Every structure is written in C-alpha cells, then in structure tokens.
Amino acid sequence: MNKIRSNSYKEAGVDIDLAGELLGKMKKKFEKARRPEMLAPIGGFGGLFQLDLKKYKNPVMVSSIDGVGTKLMVAMMMNQYYSIGYDIVNHCINDISVQGAEPLYFLDYIGIGKLRSPLYEEVLTGISDACHEAGCALLGGETAEMPGMYGDDFDLVGVINGIVEKDQIITGEKIKPGHIAIGLASNGLHTNGYSLARRVLFQQCGYTIDTELKELGETIGEALLKPHISYWPAVKKAMLKKLPLDGIAHITGGGLYDNVPRILPKNVNVVFDSKAMPVPPIFSLIVEEGTIAREEAYRVFNMGIGMVWFVPEKSAAAAVKVCTGAGFDADVIGKVVKGSRKVIVE
C-alpha cells in the first residue's frame, strides 16, 4: 500500500503518524488484557467477543459508561497519568458489580487537543493493567485528536460490559427493615467531588500539588490522585459463597444521600452511623478548610465509604469477613428501618 506523504493535517494539529506509532508500542501491553472469548486483536473497526452460552443458563448483559471527571486536571498538574487508567476501569466495574455482573470487556475513549507522549502510553497502560487484574478484556477503544476543541486538556471515558445470570441479579428489592449496611472503605475521593476539592485546596487555601501536610502524611497531589478501588473481588467472593447480598450501592457522585436510595424499596430508610468507619484525612481537610456543611459533604464526597452492601442481620458478620478476606477494610455502618426511601447520616 502506498503511503501518502503530506504535512497539511499535521500542520492543522493532527498527527496521524504519531497516533499509529504510539498505538503500535502499546500492542504488547494490550495482549495481557485479553480473554479467550476475544476473536481478534485490538485495531479492527469493531471488537469481536464470542460469548460461550454453554456457561450460562439465562444470561443478562449489563453495561455502563462513565468518565473520570476533573480528576484529570489533577493528573495533568502532576504530569502522572497511569493511575487514571485504573480510575476509569474500576469505576465502571463497580457500577455493574452492584448488580452482580462479572466484567467481560471494556472500551475506552480519549478525546484530546494534541496527542502527546508519555500521557497516551501511561493512560492506556493503566487501563490495560486494570483490565488484566480484573480478568476483563480490553476489547478496543478510540483516541480522537481534536485541536481547538480541548486545548491542552483531554477527556477520558470508559464503557464496560458484563454478564450475570438472571436469577442472580442484585436489585435491592429484598431490602427490608432489619437489614444491616456494610461499608467498604474508600482510599480517598475516587473519581468524584474534584471540582469542589480543587476549589478549596488550590484556590481558597493556596496549596499546590507538592504541599505536604502532617495530617495527610503525603502531598496534596498524592492524596488526590489515589486510584479508584475496584470492589468486584469482594462481590464475586460473596456471590460464590452464596451470601444473601440483597443490595449494593456504589458510592460515587451524590454520596450516601443520592446513591443508596437508587436501590431501596419505597418503604424503607437507611440510618448510617458516621462514626462507624474512619473518615480519610483528605476529606476532613477539604470540609474544614472549605467550611462545607456536613450534609453537603456526604452528598458530594464518598467520605470514606466506597461501596455499601445490604444483608440480613444474621449475615452481617459473614459479610464483613468476606470483605476483609478479599483485602478490603469493612464494617457495619448502618441499619435499615421503616421509611420512605431516605438516607439519614447520624
């Protein structure tokens, strides 16, 4: 095939050759993020994934799409991009794991003003490694170089597809008064609340990413860039043990107040004990320095709780044991009472 040589597109801000070169460097890394069901390597017009229907009785596909948000701006300030690959994969995996779905394959989208290295390789390496750790195939993706659209910024979006047996879908409909809420700890902001966090820490307080504070034990940048945790290993373990996991909420934007009601029946409330699990120092710093009202803090941020499980009281101890056995800090943080689908944080 003849290669057309022209600099017109490059002069307009789009370097096709660079995109091909960088993608070529990543192909060996992509090989690790595969599953046997993949029928073709990354690079085709569409990713091919042949589902083995013999493994399932009544399978239901579960899909979700999300982005990393303005955490990308912290990554750009630090010039560190590897961890945000984990952010987008793990956030998406959590979103489908709350319904009991196993992650099958993932696709990414990068929209950027000007493609540059090592940003591109670091992001895709993080995505690939996160997929590999989750047993999820990286099926494909898209990188769109759009000068004039993003400037020096970029956006990162991910799509996840998973599968669950229809009779094992976790819906929350079985939650009733007497159920216990189990909290799985977060390691920080995960991927939500960064617009407020940046305003308080960088604009109001005048801190920089390199500011070290005794209460954090690390720099502001390090605390903010901690990658989103994937809780799928704990959910998977609970399902294999047939734990009565009657409801799960992923605590993202909206915090406990907005995410938990999404899975509650109409006739119940949940009362959370805010002292049941420690609040990471980064949240205390933001809330105190920004004089943020307590209720708003629990609506904007996860405040140290990345996921909430709902189980019958008799299964509470077993649920905590499953979580800790999978490597997560977890504890009883609340209870279900009669009500009208509301959350109370005491």
Burial letters for 147-174: b for 16+ Cβ neighbours within 10 Å, e otherwise?
eeeeeeebbbbbbbbbbbbeeeebebee
Q: What share of the chain is helix, strand, coil (3-state, %, to 5)?
A: 35, 25, 40
C-alpha Rg value of the chain to the nearest Å: 21
DSSP state of 173: T
pLDDT tens digit sequence for 210-263: 999 999 999 999 999 999 999 999 999 999 999 999 999 999 999 999 999 999
| pLDDT value of residue 17 | 76
Residue 46 domain flag: yes
The predicted model gives 48-69 an average pLDDT of 95
pLDDT tens digit sequence for 156-174: 999 999 999 999 999 999 9
pLDDT band at 28 (very low <50, low <70, confident <90, very high): confident
Residue 2 domain flag: no
Please give the residue range of the domain that contains residue 186: 180-345
Alpha-carbon distance of 49 to 47, in angstroms, equals 7
- Residue 13 contacts residue 114 (beta carbons within 8 Å): yes
Alpha-carbon distance of 117 to 121, in angstroms, equals 7
The pTM of this model reads 0.92
Residue 3 domain flag: no
Same domain, 258 and 156: no
| Residues constituting the chain | 346
> Cis before residue 233, ω within 30 degrees of 0?
no
Among 43-52, 130-139, 160-169, 315-324, the minimum mean pLDDT is found in 43-52
Residue 140 domain flag: yes
Residue 174 domain flag: no
CA atoms within 13 A on the CB side of 220: 19
Same domain, 127 and 189: no
Residue 66 domain flag: yes
Across the chain, what does the average pLDDT equal? 94
Alpha-carbon distance of 284 to 131, in angstroms, equals 32
Q: 3-class DSSP state for residue 242?
A: coil
pLDDT band at 6 (very low <50, low <70, confident <90, very high): low
Tokens of 246: 């009657």
Phi, psi of 210 (to 5 degrees): -95, 0
Residue 175 domain flag: no
What angle do the packed helices 119-134 and 16-30 form, to 10 degrees? Answer: 30
Per the structure, how many domains does the chain have?
2
Check which CATH number belongs to the domain holding 217 and give it. 3.90.650.10
A 10 A CB-CB count for 87 gives 29
A 10 A CB-CB count for 287 gives 21
Alpha-carbon distance of 73 to 126, in angstroms, equals 17
- Residue 219 contacts residue 212 (beta carbons within 8 Å): yes
Q: 3-class DSSP state for residue 184?
A: strand
Check which CATH number belongs to the domain holding 73 and give it. 3.30.1330.10
Tell me the CA end-to-end span of the chain in Å, nearest whole number. Answer: 68
DSSP state of 58: S
Alpha-carbon distance of 304 to 85, in angstroms, equals 21
Residue 173 domain flag: no
The residues that bridge with 334 in the sheet, in sequence order, are 181, 272
Same domain, 128 and 192: no
